[in-house]
Structure 1
Amino acid sequence: MNPVRQLEEAGQSVWLDYIRRSLLANGGLKRLIEDDGVKGMTSNPAIFEKAIAGSDDYIEVIRELAEQEGSDAESVYKRIAVDDIRSAADILHPVYRASTGRDGYVSLEVSPRLAHDTAGTIQAARYLWRTVDRENLMIKVPATEAGMPAVETLLEEGINVNVTLLFSRKVHARVVEAYLRGLERLDKAGGDLSRVASVASLFVSRVDSAVDRLLDEKLETATSGEVTARLQALKGKTAVGNAKLAYQQYRALFSGERWEALVARGARSQRLLWASTGTKNPAYSDVLYIESLIGPETVNTVPPATLDAFRDHGSVRAQLEEHLEQAKADLATLEEEGISLDDVTDALLTEGLYKFVLAYEKLLDAVAHALQDARA
C-alpha cells in the first residue's frame, strides 16, 4: 500500500504545506486526496510568494485586477489568497464532511505584521473568516504574547484557529490553555463546541538546524574524544525528542475533569501539527520528520517534495511514543553541555516572526512587480 495512505491507519492525518492555483484548477489537489489520502492544506506568505513569482498561474487575474481603480499589492494579494483558499476549501469539503469536521481544513495566515497586535490580529482574522466564508477554514495566528489572547477570543467566536510558530513545550502548554479557555467561553455563550477546531503547529526541523549549529561550535573546541562522541551523538536528536515529549504533554493536558466536561459538550482536542517537516540537513533522511513522528491524533503538514519522498520510500510504524526515556536523556545531556533548549526555542520564535515578515514583504514586492508589468 502507498505509505502515505498507511499513515491514516496509524491515526495520523497528512496535510499539504503548499498552494498554487494550477494545483487547484487542474485536479492536482483532488488527486492527492484520492490517491494519497491528503486531508488538509496549509499556506503562508512564503508559499504564496513562490506561487505568484514562480509560475504563470496568476498573470491573467493580476492583469484584470490591475485595471481596477485603487488596486495595490496588498489588496491584490488578499484577493488572490481568498480565491485560492476558497477553492481549496471547496475541494477539501468532502473530507471535512466525511471526518465530521476533524479534517478537511485549509489554513490562511493573518498578516505577520500583526504578530504583536492582539486587536489587529482579531480584526484581521474576523475579516478573513467572513470573506472566505467556508466552515473548513482555519485562521493561522502566531503563538506570541499578543497572539494568545487573540486565539482565545477567536475560538470563543467559533472561528477555527491554527496556532503557528510553536517551538517549545512551554509555549505549547500556554496554547492549550488558550484553547481550553476559548472553548469554555464559547460554551458559556451557548455556542456549539463540536463545530470549532484548532491545531497547534509545532515546528520541527528548524529546532535541529539551530541546535546542530551550536553543537558544531562546541565540537570545534572539544578537548577529548569522549566529549566529541557525546556531542556528535546529540546531532539530529533534539527536534524529534522535543516533539515526542510535546506529544506526551498533549496527552496529559487533554485528560482529567476539566477536559472531560468540555468533551461532554462536544469538544475535540487541539491536535499537535508537525510543521517544518522538510529535512534541511542532507546528512539526515529526507523522511526523518515523518517517520519519527507517526502517532495517533496528530497531523503532519508536508511540502510536496517530502510527500513525494515518503510515498517513494517511507516506512510506516507508530514511533511517536517509542524511546521516550532516551529522548529525555538526550535533552538533559544537551542542557548539561550548556545548550538551553528554552533559549534556542525563544530565539527561533523571534527569528520565525522576522522571516515571516520578510516573506510577506517579498510577496508584496512580487505582486507589485506583476502589477507594474500588467500596467506597462
Structure 2
Amino acid sequence: MATNKVKQIHDFGQSIWLDFIDREIISNGKLKSLIDDDGVRGVTSNPAIFEKAISSSSAYDKEIAELAKTAKTNEELFFNLAITDIQNAAKLFEGVYNEEVKGADGYVSLEVSPFLALDTEGTTKQAEELWKKVNRENVMIKIPGTKPGLKAIRDSIAKGININVTLLFGLPRYEEVTEAYIAGLEDLLAAGGDVSKVASVASFFLSRIDVLVDPMLDEKGLGDLKGEVAIASAKKAYEIYKRVFSTERWKKLEAKGAKPQRLLWASTSSKNPAFKDTKYVEALIGADTVDTVPLETIEAFRDHGVAADTLTLGLDKATETLERLKAAGIDIDKITQQLEDEGIDKFNKPFEKLLNAIEEQKNKA
C-alpha cells in the first residue's frame, strides 16, 4: 500500500495541523482518522471557523439553550461552547502531545476575541482567562501579532501560557514577535518558571499576500512573479527564524529546556484557480515548521500532492523576488500592514455574525 502523501510531509520535519474544528468531526471519528491515517498533529480554530460550525449545525442548539440560562453575554456563551470543543479535540491529540519528545506537537488553538486585536490589556486578561478555563497542557491561545499584541504575547509567555501568534504578514513584525517570545521566556525564567513547558508558533499568512500583490505585478511588468511573493516572504521568514534561534541569547534559554517558536504557514489554500490547489503546501515543506491546512487542501494533497524538502530551496530567488518588488515601487511593508488591518476586520465580521446567530438560537429556545 502506497504511503499516505500527507504523512510523507512529516518525514521532512514539518507538522500538518488541521485548520478547522466542529463538533461533528470530533464525534464521528473523522478527526481521529485524520490523526491516524494522515498524521495530522494539531488543530487551529478562529472566529470564522466557529461561526461556520455553529451556524450550520444543530449540534450546538441544546447547549446554547442550557448556557443561555447563566451566561451574562453572548460572547461568554460562545467561549463556553468553544472551550467544550477545544477540550474534546485536545483529548484526541493527547497521544501526539505525549510522544517521545513531549510537547513537540498535539496542540489545539483557541483565539481571543477578535474585538481585542488592538487592546493589549484586554488581550492579556482574556488569554489568561481562556487558558485557565480550558485547563489543558496541549492548548495554545491565539493572539494577533498586531503592534498592541506584542506586549500581550510577551506577558502571556511570561505566565507560562502556550501562544499561537496569528495574523502575521510582514517580516519586520515577525522579527518583533520572536523578540516578544524570547523576552517572555526570559521573564518567566527570571521569575523561577519552567521554560521547558511553554510552546509557541508564529502564524505567517500566505495566500492573502498574493491575492493583494498579484494584480499590481502585471502593471509593473512583473507578471512572472505571480503567486511567488508570499512564498518568497515565507522563505525569508525562515531565514530570520534560523538566525534568531541560533544566537547566544537563545542558547541560554535552550539550555534550560526552551523550545524555539516554530513558524507556522497559514492561509495555505490557493485562492487563485489558476494555481495548483496544493501550491503553497508543496513550496514550503521544511524542518521545524508547521503548516495549518483546511480539510479540502488536506484531501487534495492526499490525492495528488508532492512531498519534498522545498523550504530551503531557492533562497536567492526569494531575495531577488522581494528586491524586484522594491525596485518596481511596490512597498511590501505597506501591503502587509494593509493585510493586517483587513485581517482584523475579516475576523470581526464573522464574530459579530456568530454572536447574532447565538442570539437568534437563544430566542428559539
Describe the shift of the 1:69–1:168 C-alpha distance in structure 2 as closer, same or farther (beyond 3 A): closer
Please say if residues 75 and 355 of structure 2, whose CA atoms lie closer than 8 Å, have aligned partners that are also in contact.
yes
Aligned to 2:306: 315
Hey, what's the Cα distance between the residues in 2 that align with 1:56 and 1:305?
Answer: 22
Hey, what's the Cα distance between the residues in 2 that align with 1:163 and 1:356?
Answer: 15
Match of 2:167 among 165, 168, 189: 165
Deviations, residues 300-353 of structure 1 (Å, cap 9, x unaligned): 000000010001100011110111111111111111222111111011011101
Deviations, residues 268-320 of structure 1 (Å, cap 9, x unaligned): 10000000111100000100110000000000000000010001100011110
Aligned to 2:204: 202
Deviations, residues 116-150 of structure 1 (Å, cap 9, x unaligned): 11111111011101101001110100111111011
Aligned to 2:345: 354
Please say if residues 326 and 332 of structure 2, whose CA atoms lie closer than 8 Å, have aligned partners that are also in contact.
yes
The Cα of 1:84 is off from its aligned counterpart by 0.5
Hey, what's the Cα distance between the residues in 1 that align with 2:66 and 2:359?
Answer: 14
Match of 1:179 among 172, 178, 181: 181
DSSP-derived class of the 2:98 partner: helix
Please say if residues 71 and 77 of structure 2, whose CA atoms lie closer than 8 Å, have aligned partners that are also in contact.
no
Question: How many residues matched?
Answer: 362
Aligned to 2:124: 122
Aligned to 2:31: 29
The Cα of 1:373 is off from its aligned counterpart by 2.0
Aligned letter for 1:312? D
Give unpaired runs (5+ residues) of structure 1. 220-226
Identity level (%): 51
DSSP-derived class of the 2:147 partner: coil
Deviations, residues 40-84 of structure 1 (Å, cap 9, x unaligned): 000001000000111222122223334x15554222211110100
Aligned letter for 2:339? L
Hey, what's the Cα distance between the residues in 1 that align with 2:186 and 2:282?
Answer: 35
Q: Counterparts in 2 of 1:131-280, with a 5 A limit?
A: 131-216=133-218, 218=219, 227=221, 231-280=222-271
Aligned to 1:224: none
**Bigger Rg, structure 1 or 2:** 1
Aligned letter for 2:86? I
Please say if residues 72 and 368 of structure 1, whose CA atoms lie closer than 8 Å, have aligned partners that are also in contact.
no
Hey, what's the Cα distance between the residues in 2 that align with 1:288 and 1:243?
Answer: 13
Task: Could you list the structure 1 runs, at least 4 aligned residues long, displaced by more than 3 angstroms after superposition.
Answer: 69-72
Hey, what's the Cα distance between the residues in 2 that align with 1:168 and 1:321?
Answer: 19
DSSP-derived class of the 1:321 partner: coil
Hey, what's the Cα distance between the residues in 1 that align with 2:193 and 2:354?
Answer: 37
Hey, what's the Cα distance between the residues in 1 that align with 2:156 and 2:270?
Answer: 33
DSSP-derived class of the 1:199 partner: strand
Hey, what's the Cα distance between the residues in 2 that align with 1:112 and 1:316?
Answer: 34
Aligned to 1:364: 355
Hey, what's the Cα distance between the residues in 2 that align with 1:64 and 1:161?
Answer: 31
Hey, what's the Cα distance between the residues in 2 that align with 1:41 and 1:211?
Answer: 29
Please say if residues 143 and 153 of structure 2, whose CA atoms lie closer than 8 Å, have aligned partners that are also in contact.
yes
Please say if residues 212 and 236 of structure 1, whose CA atoms lie closer than 8 Å, have aligned partners that are also in contact.
yes
Deviations, residues 187-227 of structure 1 (Å, cap 9, x unaligned): 111111110000000000001101012224x16xxxxxxx3
Aligned letter for 1:125? A
The Cα of 1:361 is off from its aligned counterpart by 0.6
The Cα of 1:161 is off from its aligned counterpart by 0.3
DSSP-derived class of the 2:164 partner: strand
The Cα of 1:358 is off from its aligned counterpart by 1.1
Aligned letter for 2:105? D
Aligned to 1:43: 45
Question: Root-mean-square deviation (CA), in Å?
Answer: 1.2
Aligned to 2:89: 88
